[in-house]
Every structure is written in C-alpha cells, then in structure tokens.
Chains A and B, each alone.
Chain A
Amino acid sequence: MAFNHKHLIDITEYSREDIMTILETAKAFSEVNQRAIKKVPTLKGKTIVNMFNEPSTRTRSSFELAEKRLSADSLNFGGSSTATVKGESLVDTVATLNSYKIDMIIVRDKHAGAPHIITQHSPAAVIDAGDGKHQHPTQALLDLYTIWEHKQNFEGLKVGIVGDIGHSRVCGSLVPALKIMGAEVTLIGPATLMPARPDVLGADHVTADLDAALPELDVVYMLRIQRERLEGAPFPSLREYHKLFGLTKDREQLMKPDAIICHPGPINRGVEFDSYMADHPQRSVILEQVYAGICVRMAVMYLLLGGADNGLAS
C-alpha cells in the first residue's frame, strides 16, 4: 500500500486505497488529539507555509493547529498584507518562499489552478486548501472521515448534497471522492446553483425536489449559502430558499432514522436549516467534521512529507 503522492490538489488522482490510508492514519492522529499532550514530534524541523491568498479563518486555523501538533514550524503568509496585493505575481511570490527553504505550502486561492502553478515553481509539497471553484480536497477527506465514523463503509451509501453546488469547491472534491469510495450521490438544488455538467463531477442523480430525495438518503450534506453574494441572483430570497431547500423539523420525518447531517461551516441558521436540525443531537455531525479536519490534515501532511512504514530497524 505504497502512498506515492507528493501533492494533494486533485482528489481524483487518489485511489480508494490512498483515501483509506489517509482515513486510517487520521484515526491514529485522533488518538493523539485526545491526549493531554496533543503533540507529536513527527514533523520536527519541517517548515510549512500557510499561503492564504483569500480570507479564511476556519481552514487556516485547522491547518495551523495540525501543523503545531505535528511539531512543524509554520509560517502564515498571505491575507491582505501580501505581495499578491502589492502586484507581485504568484510565481514571483513562490520564488520568494522557496528562498526560505520550505518543505510544504498549504494554499488557499480564489483562482482555480493556483496550487498547480505553485507545484511548477517550487520543490515543496503542495496541499490545496481550496482553489476558486475547483477543489478543496482536505474538506472532502474530513467529510469522508466523519461519514466513515458513522457509517463504517461507503459502498452503496446514499449521499445527498443540497444547495450551491455550482459555486462550490467543496463539491469539486467531495462528489468525486464519494464516487471513488463507492457511494451514490444525489445533487439537490435549483438549476441556477448547479454546475453545467453535474455528471462530470460524478453525480448519479440531480433533482430540485428535496422532499422526494430525503427518504433515500443516509447522509444529507448541506452546503453553505453565501448570503451576501447569492441572494437576489440565483434565487429570489433567503426566505424562499429556506422554504424549498432548508432542512427543517418538519422535514425530519422524511429522513431515515439513522441519516446524519453534515455542513462544511460556517452555518447559516434559518437558511440551510433551522436550529432544531443544526443542533440535532443524533443527526448533526457538524462539530465532528471540524474535529475531523485536524486529524485528517495531520494525516495528509504526515503522509505527504514522507510517511513511514513499519520497517524501522529494531
């Protein structure tokens, strides 16, 4: 089970075995995250740059914590103070980072393909922490981890993704990842929020009828509505969106008894769901996803920066 990847950018380059290796390694890191001393020396001496070229608090915090718990030296590079804003090109910025002798770059960028550009100009390993509307592979992996914890396997699992699929980098990774693992994926939302070719992502079904889809689903994944960006464009109002696509207490009776609810955060109460469903003690796994993010990111960084086999000379 060799894990032969240098970068994590395109989840479709990972096999089912690769993804299981990541999930199992994440489980090992979960043990570390529950200790009193939540730190291992694994990446001691490695330098990891968090290059966040667009604002992100959660993903960046999760990566940062994962780096610290692996004992890596981490550097936050990005945000409004960066070179990119000063007119320097991404390529030149990466050249600067290379001079710092770094081992890994975590990149968040509003432009699809930016992580690939970095791989062409840096010897460092690159993890895509979200590029434009393209992919967000660690989010997909933490979603898989959370689902795995609850459902144990993916084969034939019915997953419904509700909301703004067309503008979602989460979906760009999550849908292909679910397909790699053998799940069945239904995309739910109005056509104004759908990508041009949902089949290209791997979706098995596309529907605008949430009520008809719900009874089949083992996992209901609610996507975040960018309220400031979307209202009045692809749908007329948040009120109508909530009415048609919100997960509410009334709709719970349509769900399987053991169906779980995921959301990549941050959540909008009253839009994607009502508080009853957002806080549902049995169904909502949103906070578990946040926790899984640390474990999965530790696992990915560990595996990409070398990993280890059991062949250490005793």
Chain B
Amino acid sequence: MKDTCQVKSVVMDGAEIERSLTRIAHQILEANHGAENLAIVGIVTRGDLLAKRLVEKIEEIEGVKVDLGSLDISFYRDDFMTNFAPAVHATHIPFDIDGKHIVLVDDVLYTGRTIRAALDALMDLGRPSVIQLAVLVDRGHRELPIRADFVGKNVPSAHDENVRLFLEEVDGRSAVEILDVAPGSRAGSAPLGGE
C-alpha cells in the first residue's frame, strides 16, 4: 500500500530515542530489582527492534544478557477482517515464559488494541508472573483500559495524525515523526523497509 502521509513535525530524533531507551532500561531494572528472571519481548515490526536495543542496554548496565523474544500478533488481532494483506512474521520466543517477568515492548501506544492482542498471544505461550509494558511514544486516545509502565515520551496527537517511529536498522534513519493521514489511508506503524 502506498503511504500518502505528509510529515508535520519531528517529535524525537535519533539521539533522543537513544536517551529514552537508556532511561527506560534503567527504569526496568529498578522496577524489577535487577535483571534476574527478566525477559524482553518486542512486538513486530518495530517493537522487536526496540526490544533488541533494550536488551543491549541492559547488558551494558548490568552485564547480564536477558532473554529476548519477538511476538507477532497477527493471529490475535480484533480487526483482521477489515484489513487487506498479510505480512505474518513468525513469533520467536526461544525460552520458557512461565514465571518470567516479561517486558512487552512496542513503538507507539495508541488505542491499546495491539497490546490487548499481544497479551492474549503471550498468555497462549505460557504463564508469566508479571507482564509490563514499555513504549517509546504514548500518543493517547486509548480505547481499552491499558497503560504503559515505561514511556519514552508522551506525544499529544490528533486522530487524523499518525505518529511513526523510523529506525536506522530498517529505515536508514532514526526518528519519531507526526504525519498527516490522508483520508482513507492507513494509520499505524510504517511498513518495513521504509517508504
């Protein structure tokens, strides 16, 4: 699908994203009293990249490499009938999640529906003792009773705007941008591989 969004403003640049992730890494360690029993699970297709960075930062801080997983929520969505095309990326969680402290990572928290689906997906994989949520951006407009435990930045936004994260690894640049959504076009994460 063609992206027809106009960039309105840059909310975070690469350096700010790095600083936020460093802070979140510290907060995670503080809230969980260290890295023991901790696992970071990112939601594809941006949250998994953030999760990988968080694992690296935790290793820098604590000297411990915590478990890293990625979660595809395609099979758990509540809106899958209305969408047009698939891009299923297999869930990859190479460890037992029973009894773990799981930090779920996503790029932008908006309606909360993705997180609802992610919680269901995680529950089908086992029984973690705690699930926390880390997001780089919280843009408001929740439709479900869900809140993040760790937030990089609160970015007030309008419904007709799209807040998107771009990452060096897949997009060639790192930034969080607010874009105007053309009527009828898609809101949500940027497609993989940039625009």
Tell me whether A307 and B72 are in contact in the complex, defined as CB-CB below 8 angstroms, given that A40-B124, A314-B110 are known contacts. no
Tell me whether A313 and B110 are in contact in the complex, defined as CB-CB below 8 angstroms, given that A31-B92, A308-B74 are known contacts. yes
Q: Check: A35 CB closer than 8 A to any chain B CB.
A: yes
Q: Compute how far the CA of A173 lies from the CA of B113 in the bound complex, rounded to whole angstroms.
A: 40
Query: Number of A residues contacting the other chain (C-beta, 8 Å)?
Result: 32
Q: Are B75 and A312 in contact (CB under 8 A)?
A: no
The one of B72, B85, B117, B186 in contact with A3, judged by C-beta atoms closer than 8 angstroms, is B85
Chain A, Cβ-Cβ closest to B87 = A310
Residues 162-195 of chain B, each 1 if its beta carbon lies under 8 Å from chain A, else 0: 0000000000000000000000001111011000
Q: Check: B88 CB closer than 8 A to any chain A CB.
A: yes
Contacts of A2 in B (CB 8 A): 1, 84-85
Task: Tell me the dominant secondary structure on chain B's binding face.
Answer: loop
Contacts of A312 in B (CB 8 A): 73, 77, 79, 83, 113-114, 117, 188-189
Kindly specify which of A22-30, A51-59, A104-112, A236-244 makes contact with the partner chain: A22-30
Chain B interface size, under 10 / 10 to 19 / 20 to 34 / 35 or more: 35 or more
Contacts of A31 in B (CB 8 A): 90-92
Q: Are B75 and A41 in contact (CB under 8 A)?
A: yes
Q: Check: A183 CB closer than 8 A to any chain B CB.
A: no
Q: Are B188 and A42 in contact (CB under 8 A)?
A: no
Q: Compute how far the CA of A306 lies from the CA of B83 in the bound complex, rounded to whole angstroms.
A: 7
Q: Compute how far the CA of A37 lies from the CA of B75 in the bound complex, rounded to whole angstroms.
A: 14
Q: Check: A303 CB closer than 8 A to any chain B CB.
A: yes
Query: How far is the CB of B143 from the nearest CB of chain A, in Å?
Result: 9
Contacts of B80 in A (CB 8 A): 42, 306-308
Chain B, Cβ-Cβ closest to A69 = B75
The one of B73, B86, B120 in contact with A309, judged by C-beta atoms closer than 8 angstroms, is B86
Q: Compute how far the CA of A35 lies from the CA of B91 in the bound complex, rounded to whole angstroms.
A: 11
Residues of B within 8 A of A (CB): 1, 44-45, 72-77, 79-92, 106-111, 113-114, 117, 120-121, 124-126, 186-189, 191-192
Residue pairs across A and B with Cβ atoms less than 8 A apart, 9 shown, are A32-B91, A39-B124, A40-B75, A70-B75, A306-B81, A310-B87, A310-B188, A312-B83, A314-B111
